[in-house]
Amino acid sequence: MHSSQDAERPVVGFVGLGTMGDPMSTNIAKAGFPLRLYDTDVARARALAERLGATAVEEPAGLADCDVIVLMLPTSAIVRSVLVDDESGSPEPRIPFASGAVVVDMSSSNPNETIETGAVLARAGVHLVDAPVSGAKERAVTGTLSIMLGGENEDAIARAVPVIEAMSERIFRTGGLGTGHAMKALNNFVAAAAYTASSEALIAGERFGLDRQTMVDIFNTSTGQSFVTLNVLGEHIVDGAFATGFALPLMTKDVKIAKAVQESVGHEAPVCEAVTGALDDALQALGNVDHTEAYRFWDGR
């Protein structure tokens, strides 16, 4: 889904050029937006800028002339470190933003931290929009991500949407600032719960004498069907690829954010507690691996 061509396109900055950021920024460039790229890996930013006909900058301050700045980073703490200077006693923007600039955090961030960062930027006349994504690398490449969009300022959202549309096929408006990030965490908790439960079932079934592929086939034509059974179990567990591209630390982080969201509204969440514990155990044992590797850890216990 792409917006109509504007007579003058805004200058877009993109921060974080990893597994998702590379194809997402590529689609922004393909849509015709003038693009500035920043990554702590300067060589990566330069190589991508050369490929896209964009401009690489070596510091976040180099994005000061951007109308819209998109971030795709691992955590909300890293997002804040790029956007906010907390070292001067009173938090203030780290980038000398143009007045009315729009910042779009597409990372899987903590919604409460998003709200805090947004307040700092708002005092400087800068609007923060949270717009986390669903769809993994494959849909980042095709520009068909689903977006969960939260924000307070309708004019800022209107200016951000054409850029977001270059990367997505569907945008869900979720409410005020932070609601997009809350929704992303809760969505990933549901996915993680399905992965944890289906892994547990596969392990138990195989020990009982069932064939793993037969179990997956039955899940996928029965009430146990989910995104996980359709897209993860066969290729990555049964066939042994263990390479979805979604890291175990990131899944664990997202579930912990979902747990914090539930706690913040006074909601007891025993399933989220159990999934957090199972993922945490695997993370402590395995470290930074694809999240599907947790199956091997659980199977070996």
Q: Are 82 and 107 in contact (CB under 8 A)?
A: no
What span, in angstroms and rounded, lies between the C-alpha atoms of 294 and 228? 14
Condensed to tens digits (0 to 9), the pLDDT of residues 137-153 reads 889 999 999 999 999 99
Strands 92-93 and 84-85: antiparallel
Structure confidence at residue 1 as a pLDDT band (50, 70, 90): very low
Instruction: Please tell me the predicted confidence (pLDDT) of residue 135.
Output: 87
What span, in angstroms and rounded, lies between the C-alpha atoms of 161 and 149? 9
Q: Domains in the chain, please, with CATH?
A: 12-177 (3.40.50.720), 183-300 (1.10.1040.10)
Spatial CA neighbour of 10 closest among 146, 223, 166 = 166
| 203, burial (CB in 10 Å: exposed 0-12, middle 13-18, buried 19+) | middle
Instruction: Work out the angle between the directed axes of helices 179-208 and 270-286 (0-180°, nearest 10).
Output: 70
Instruction: Please tell me the predicted confidence (pLDDT) of residue 136.
Output: 83
pLDDT of 167 strictly over 70: yes
Condensed to tens digits (0 to 9), the pLDDT of residues 54-108 reads 999 999 999 999 999 999 999 999 999 999 999 877 899 999 998 889 999 999 9
Q: Are 66 and 33 in contact (CB under 8 A)?
A: no
What span, in angstroms and rounded, lies between the C-alpha atoms of 114 and 76? 7
CB atoms within 10 A of CB 99: 7
What span, in angstroms and rounded, lies between the C-alpha atoms of 83 and 297? 38
- Mean pLDDT score, 206-230: 98
pLDDT of 126 strictly over 80: yes
Instruction: Please tell me the predicted confidence (pLDDT) of residue 98.
Output: 87
pLDDT of 2 strictly over 50: no
Instruction: Please tell me the predicted confidence (pLDDT) of residue 4.
Output: 41
Structure confidence at residue 5 as a pLDDT band (50, 70, 90): very low
Condensed to tens digits (0 to 9), the pLDDT of residues 11-45 reads 999 999 999 999 999 999 999 999 999 999 999 99
Instruction: Please tell me the predicted confidence (pLDDT) of residue 239.
Output: 97
Condensed to tens digits (0 to 9), the pLDDT of residues 243-288 reads 998 999 999 999 999 999 999 999 999 999 999 999 999 999 999 9
